[in-house]
């Protein structure tokens, strides 16, 4: 029985005065086999239909509660009362949105029965397709937009037109030049005809050579050659110019798009792979356009023109000459299929090789420290060998291809010779015509040989284009609002309302509620994996929440333009990243227009001024890719100065002091105290001592907030925080060799 | 500013007396933006590496103090300015360059292209294998041959 049948069956059981409040499909049965089922909530009862068509029902009454829990993508919905579990259903996460609505409706109904009042229905705009609440200011539902990603079509190369359009005029000029250049290259073989028939053959038959005719024809040959040279140069130059620009646009657009994608995307991609896509793939497309496609177009034009000329001279001989053409075309098609998968595989394997490099070179200290150089070499060799194996397979087919085309060429020539001699013998054609045919087809067939190359390069370029469009087609999961709202001034109050977040099928956060006053400092505490960093990432809008919403000064952050919103946020991370450049540039990263005085002031406040002055070029000293010349504490102070300079209203510190020793921490602490002043601060710290200044501590455990309060209150509770604190002080005592404090 | 004093003692060290009257021996003037804005923002550092005085520009100081600092800075700073590149041993690094600088002709060994650092559109700083820095203030102003040599490394 299908979902719809079950739904109809349940709905048919409702009495006229009963209204249907919510419904959901359950796509798993009790034993976790895929089977349709349906849950329907009416104003009086909860009805459940299973795959067999069996219907059970529970009347809505006070004390009932629906609970959900999920594990590995399977959600269990349980109906509970005071005595225990009454029923349960399983479903996959796809149905979760419906389920939550059902749960909300059920809870509201029960509450209504208990208190006798209908709760206020929250005014929400729902997406028509997935029934998910929509965010004000957005026209497209974020959940649906995510699901609508379609695989790119195979005609990816045509999509490059988007990048070629700005250069239409030059492309047209290039095409006309190509046409003209090709036409001129076809003149010389044509002139062999009169040269044979009107000059050489008459001479052999005893007539004198006509000087004027010779001058005329040879002059014609020279002019044709010169014109072909000049036009060929012009067309190649213009088209190379255009293709280089297309390639550059493609690269920049891709990089620009990449910068706009959310952290979620980068989390799932390897650096080497992305680098290869933007760097070498776009270059490959560029070479394809400027070289191979141009050659191919020239060849096609040449074949068409030659065919026309040949037919105009002698249709029968032309027919014989062109006979091998469809045969070769078929072969090209056949090999194309064989090679396509091969080349895609080559690309993937090549990205693997680069990825190995990108993984190990930044981590070289770890590799050396654990003496794993041999293993890394082995890993590289393995990737490289895979590359070799894949290439070998492709090359086997590929290498067979060219000799076969050559063979066909020779056979074709043989046929033309044979048929031509027969025609000459029957006085159908002159010797000159045969000579012209042979001259034409010599060019013609050698072009076929090079044309066959287009098979592989088109495939390579197409797979390159596909990989680039993969990036371009990826819609940011942190979409810009269509009707953005703007915040003139930010006070800094943050309100987190029933926030849930799922990463893949794993629920990281659920039902997080927290109100933060402007200027308040919140310390986030909890075991690793309790969801602290995720919560902070959601506040920064590196990801978007799955459920609920985050509001800043009462405005949903999803309705603010992303970059405008992030300007109000200062971020200090555990591992401060310094870009290649001077210290001054690094401090001014968030505000490149900052004056030198402002930079110095920020550095002073971050306690970085003095150590910077001790460097050889002061603020103009270079720091490397990861600021290798500076210590952890120094780098951290530079990143604090960076945050201070943009003067954000909201400050986020993610384990800002965990990477440094206690002494450095004290040094940084002074800088941090300067930073925190007057800002809403959310600090994550593993070391609880760092959070002594926090107004409130928020203890998180397995994706939920379990305790809120200041240090003393939480200690008095003797629960989660107490245990965390005990564990740390005990550790410390053990390190210091003190006897454990007896409680 | 009256109470601030700077003088050179018999050992050639600078002695700075700060506002509280405490004397610091062996103070060092440091430029905060040594390359991009050498005349803006100087600091007097104690031998222990602590900042004693911040000076926005030398011009704002009493003349004697400014002269002393200027002298000290000139002695400490050594960044020859390359006027011409006469010869390079190879276009692959490491490469030995024979150059004319404002402090006379010399040779330097360039370890890698990454030791050439761009400063703005035309200025370059070249570090040799000892870490000594050479400045090219305007590479377009170099002679034709020098520019040709340089182009091979950029």
Q: What is the DSSP track for A484-511? A: ----SS----EEEEEEEEEETTEEEEEE
Contact predicate A310/A322, CB 8 Å? yes
- Asked whether residue A412 is domain-assigned, the answer is yes
Residues B67 and B91 in one domain: no
- Residue B72 and residue B16 share a domain: yes
Bridge partners, residue A552, by sequence: A494, A555
A 526-545 residues with CB < 8 A to B: none
Of residues A611, A613, A620, nearest to B35 (C-beta): A620
Are residues A177 and A321 located together in one domain of the fold?
yes
If asked whether residues B128 and B106 sit together in one domain, one would say yes
pLDDT in tens, A351-367: 888 888 887 888 888 88
A664 to chain B, closest Cα gap in Å: 17
Q: Which of A597, A598, A602, A618 is most worth mutating to test chain B (most B CB atoms within 10 A of its CB)?
A: A618
Q: Show residues of chain B in contact with A617, CB under 8 Å.
A: 31, 34-35
Q: Measured between CB atoms, does A598 come within 8 Å of chain B?
A: no
pLDDT tens, A287-326?
A: 888 778 888 888 888 888 888 988 998 888 888 888 777 7
Q: What is the structure's pLDDT at A422?
A: 92
**Residue with more model confidence, A449 or A485:** A485
Q: Is the pLDDT of residue A616 over 50?
A: yes
**Residue A153's pLDDT is what?**
46
Instruction: Out of B21, B50, B76, pick the residue that ends a domain.
Output: B76
Cβ B30 vs Cβ B73: under 8 Å: no
Shared domain check, A109 and A198: no
B111 & B89 share domain:
yes
pLDDT in tens, A680-733: 989 888 777 778 778 898 998 888 888 888 888 888 888 888 888 888 777 666
Counting as low any pLDDT under 50, the low residues of chain B are 1-2
Give the number of other Cβ atoms within 10 Å of residue A479's Cβ. 18
Chain A and chain B share a number of CB contacts under 8 A equal to 45
Give the count of domains, chain B.
2
* A263 occurs within a structural domain: yes
Q: At what angle do helices A373-425 and A324-360 cross, to 10 degrees?
A: 170
A267 vs A504: CA distance, rounded Å: 12
Same domain, A171 and A317: yes
Residues A79 and A168 both lie in one domain: no
CB within 8 Å: B32 and A622: no
Domain of A612 in residue numbering reads as 573-647
Contact criterion met (CB below 8 Å) for A141 and A134: yes
Same-domain check for residues B86 and B147: yes
Q: What is the distance between the alpha carbons of residues A695 and A522, in angstroms, rounded to a whole number?
A: 6
Instruction: Check if the beta carbon of residue A434 is closer than 8 Å to that of residue A424.
Output: yes
| Mean pLDDT for all residues in chain A | 81
**Domain co-membership, A13 together with A74:** yes
Asked if B142 and B113 sit in the same domain, the reply is yes
Indicate the burial class of A485 (C-beta count within 10 angstroms; 0-12, 13-18, 19 or more).
middle
pLDDT per residue over A617-644, tens digit each?
788 887 865 445 788 788 888 888 888 8
- Same domain? For B39 and B11 the reply is yes
At A231 the pLDDT is 93
Q: Are B40 and A596 within 8 A, CB to CB?
A: yes
Q: Are residues A8 and A104 in the same domain?
A: yes
pLDDT at A453: 67
Averaged pLDDT, A271-293: 81
Same domain, A171 and A106: no
Q: What is the DSSP letter of A481?
A: P
Report long-range pairs for A361-365 (Cβ below 8 Å, ≥24 apart): A362/A626
Q: How confident is the model at residue A226 (pLDDT cuts 50, 70, 90)?
A: very high
Which CATH number belongs to the domain containing residue A621 in this structure?
A: 3.40.50.300
Does the beta carbon of A632 lie under 8 angstroms from any beta carbon of chain B?
Answer: no
pLDDT of residue B1: 46
Q: Which residue of B has its CA nearest to A614?
A: B49
Residue A616 near chain B (CB below 8 Å): yes
Domain boundary among A629, A647, A665: A647
Same domain (yes/no): A176, A230: yes
Residue A728 within a domain: no
Chosen domain end from B76, B105, B134: B76
- The answer to whether residues A190 and A247 belong to one domain is yes
| Between A737 and A460, residue with greater pLDDT | A460
- Are residues B89 and B67 part of one domain? no
Residue A79's CATH number:
2.30.29.30
Among A262, A161, A278, A282, smallest CA distance to A475 is for A262
Q: What is the ipTM of this complex?
A: 0.79
The residue-averaged pLDDT of A439-449 equals 73
Asked whether residue A74 falls in the same domain as residue A168, the answer is no
| Position A479 in a domain | no
Residues from chain A that touch B49, judged by Cβ atoms under 8 A, are: 610-611, 613-614
Q: Give the pLDDT mean for A423-447.
A: 83
In a domain, A689, yes or no: no
pTM value surpassing 0.80: no
A150 pLDDT band, cuts 50/70/90, is: very low
Are residues A165 and A102 part of one domain? Answer: no
Instruction: Summarize pLDDT for A356-395 with one digit per residue, the tens.
Output: 888 788 888 888 888 888 888 988 998 889 888 888 888 8
User: Which residue out of A606, A613, A628 would a mutagenesis test of the B interface target, given it has the greatest number of B Cβ atoms within 10 Å?
Assistant: A613
Q: Which of B23, B43, B76 is the last residue of a domain?
A: B76
Cα gap A479→A260, rounded to integer Å: 9
Confidence category of residue A425, pLDDT binned at 50, 70, 90? very high
| End-to-end CA, chain A | 63
Q: Is A680 helix (H, G, I), strand (E, B) or coil?
A: strand
pLDDT on residue A627:
46
Identify the pLDDT of residue A121.
57
Residues of A in contact with B51 (CB under 8 A): 609-610, 613
Number of independent structural domains in chain A: 3
Q: What is the CATH classification number for the domain harbouring A375?
A: 1.20.1560.10
Query: How far apart are alpha carbons A328 and B24 in whole angstroms?
Result: 90
* Domain shared by B63 and B105, yes or no: no
In tens, the pLDDT along A89-143 reads 888 877 777 888 888 888 888 888 888 776 665 545 555 445 555 544 444 455 5
**Residue from B29, B31, B35, B45 to probe the interface with A (highest A Cβ count within 10 Å):** B35
Nearest CA in chain A to B40: A596
In a domain, A561, yes or no: no
Of B30, B40, B117, Cβ closest to residue A613: B30
Closest by CA position to A578, among listed A636, A536, A645, A617: A636
Decide which of A419, A450, A473 is a domain's last residue.
A473
Percent of chain A with pLDDT over 90: 5
Contacts of B45 in chain A (CB under 8 A): 610, 613-614
Among A58, A87, A115, give the residue marking a domain's end.
Answer: A115
Residue B58 belongs to what domain range? 5-76
Select the residue from B28, B31, B34, B40 to test the A interface by mutation, using most A Cβ atoms within 10 A: B34
Share of chain A above pLDDT 70, in %: 89
Query: What pLDDT does residue A146 have?
Result: 47
Same domain? For A107 and A165 the reply is no
Q: Within a domain: residue A20?
A: yes
- Report the range out of A184-188, A220-224, A716-720 with the highest average pLDDT: A220-224
Rg of chain A over Cα atoms, rounded to whole angstroms, equals 37
What integer pLDDT is reported at residue A739 of this predicted model? Answer: 53
């Amino acid at each position: 029985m299908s979902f719809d049948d079950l739904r109809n069956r349940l709905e048919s059981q409702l009495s006229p005065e009963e209204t249907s409040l919510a419904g959901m499909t359950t796509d798993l049965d009790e034993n976790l086999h895929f089977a349709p089922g349906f849950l329907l909530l009416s104003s009086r009862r909860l009805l459940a239909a299973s795959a067999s068509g069996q219907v059970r029902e529970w009347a809505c009454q006070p004390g009932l509660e629906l609970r959900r829990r999920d594990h590995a993508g399977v959600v269990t919905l349980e109906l509970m009362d005071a005595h225990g579990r009454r029923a349960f259903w399983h479903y996959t996460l796809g149905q979760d949105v419906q389920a939550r609505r059902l749960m909300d409706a059920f809870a509201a109904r029960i509450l209504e029965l208990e208190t006798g009042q209908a709760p206020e229905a929250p005014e929400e705009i729902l997406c028509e397709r997935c029934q998910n609440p929509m965010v004000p200011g957005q026209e497209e539902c974020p959940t649906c937009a995510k699901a609508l990603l379609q695989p790119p079509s195979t005609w990816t190369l045509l999509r490059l037109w988007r990048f070629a359009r700005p250069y239409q005029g030059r492309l047209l000029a290039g095409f006309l030049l190509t046409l003209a250049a090709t036409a001129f290259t076809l003149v010389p073989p044509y002139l062999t005809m009169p040269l044979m028939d009107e000059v050489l053959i008459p001479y052999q038959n005893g007539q004198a050579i006509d000087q004027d005719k010779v001058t005329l024809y040879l002059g014609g040959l020279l002019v044709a050659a010169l014109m072909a040279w000049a036009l060929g140069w012009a067309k190649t130059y213009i088209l190379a110019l255009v293709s280089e620009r297309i390639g550059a646009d493609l690269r920049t657009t891709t990089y620009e798009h990449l910068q706009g994608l959310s952290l979620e995307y980068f989390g799932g991609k390897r650096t080497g792979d992305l680098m290869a896509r933007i760097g070498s793939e776009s270059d490959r497309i560029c070479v394809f356009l400027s070289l191979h496609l141009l050659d191919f177009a020239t060849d096609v034009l040449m074949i068409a023109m030659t065919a026309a000329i040949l037919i105009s001279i002698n249709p029968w001989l032309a027919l014989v000459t062109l006979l091998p053409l469809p045969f070769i075309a078929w072969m090209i098609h056949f090999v194309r299929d064989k090679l396509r998968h091969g080349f895609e595989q080559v690309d993937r394997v090549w990205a693997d090789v680069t990825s190995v490099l990108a993984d190990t070179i930044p981590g070289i200290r770890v590799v050396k420290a654990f003496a794993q150089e041999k293993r890394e070499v082995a890993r590289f060799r393995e990737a490289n060998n895979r590359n070799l194996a894949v290439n070998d397979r492709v090359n086997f087919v590929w290498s067979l291809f060219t000799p076969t085309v050559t063979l066909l060429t020779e056979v074709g020539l043989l046929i033309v010779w044979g048929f031509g001699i027969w025609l000459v013998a029957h006085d159908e054609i002159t010797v000159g015509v045969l000579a012209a045919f042979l001259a034409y087809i010599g060019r013609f067939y050698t072009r076929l040989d090079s044309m066959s190359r287009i098979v592989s390069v088109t495939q390579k370029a197409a797979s390159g284009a596909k990989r680039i469009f993969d990036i371009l087609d990826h819609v940011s999961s942190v979409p810009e609002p269509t009707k953005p709202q703007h915040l003139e001034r930010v006070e800094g109050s943050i309100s987190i309302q029933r926030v849930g977040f799922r990463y893949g099928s794993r629920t990281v956060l659920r039902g997080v509620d927290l109100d933060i006053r402007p200027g308040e400092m919140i310390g986030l505490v909890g075991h690793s994996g309790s969801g602290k960093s995720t919560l902070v990432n959601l506040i920064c809008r590196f990801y978007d929440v799955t459920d609920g919403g985050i509001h800043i000064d009462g405005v949903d952050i999803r309705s603010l333009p992303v970059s405008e919103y992030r300007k109000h946020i200062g971020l200090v991370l555990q591992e401060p990243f310094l870009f290649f450049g001077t210290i001054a540039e690094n401090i001014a990263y968030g505000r490149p227009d900052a004056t030198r005085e402002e930079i110095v002031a920020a550095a002073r406040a971050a306690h970085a001024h003095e150590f910077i002055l001790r460097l050889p070029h002061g603020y103009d000293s270079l720091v490397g890719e990861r600021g290798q010349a500076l210590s952890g504490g120094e780098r951290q102070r530079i990143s604090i100065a960076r945050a201070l300079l943009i003067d954000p209203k909201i400050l986020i510190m993610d384990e800002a002091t965990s990477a440094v020793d206690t002494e450095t921490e004290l040094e940084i602490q002074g800088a941090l105290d300067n930073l925190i002043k007057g800002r809403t601060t959310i600090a994550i710290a593993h070391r609880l001592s760092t959070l002594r200044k926090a107004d409130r501590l928020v203890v998180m455990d397995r994706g939920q907030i379990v305790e809120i309060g200041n240090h003393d209150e939480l200690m008095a509770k003797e629960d989660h925080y107490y245990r965390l604190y005990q564990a740390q002080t005990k550790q410390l005592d053990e390190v210091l060799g003190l006897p454990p404090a007896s409680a | 500013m009256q109470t601030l004093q700077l003088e050179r003692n018999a050992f050639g060290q600078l002695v700075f007396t700060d506002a509280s009257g405490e004397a610091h021996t062996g103070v060092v003037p440091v430029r905060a933006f040594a390359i991009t804005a050498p005349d803006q923002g100087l600091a007097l550092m104690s031998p222990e590496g602590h900042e004693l005085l911040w000076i926005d520009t030398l011009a704002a100081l009493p003349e004697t103090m400014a002269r002393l600092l200027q002298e000290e800075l000139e002695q400490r700073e050594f960044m020859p300015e390359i006027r011409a590149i006469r010869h390079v041993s190879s276009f692959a690094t490491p490469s030995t360059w024979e150059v004319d600088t404002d402090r006379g002709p010399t040779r330097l060994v360039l370890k890698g292209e990454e030791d050439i650092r761009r400063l703005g559109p035309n200025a370059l700083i070249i570090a040799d294998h000892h870490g000594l820095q050479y400045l090219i203030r305007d590479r377009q102003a170099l002679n034709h041959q020098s520019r040709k040599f340089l182009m091979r490394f950029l």
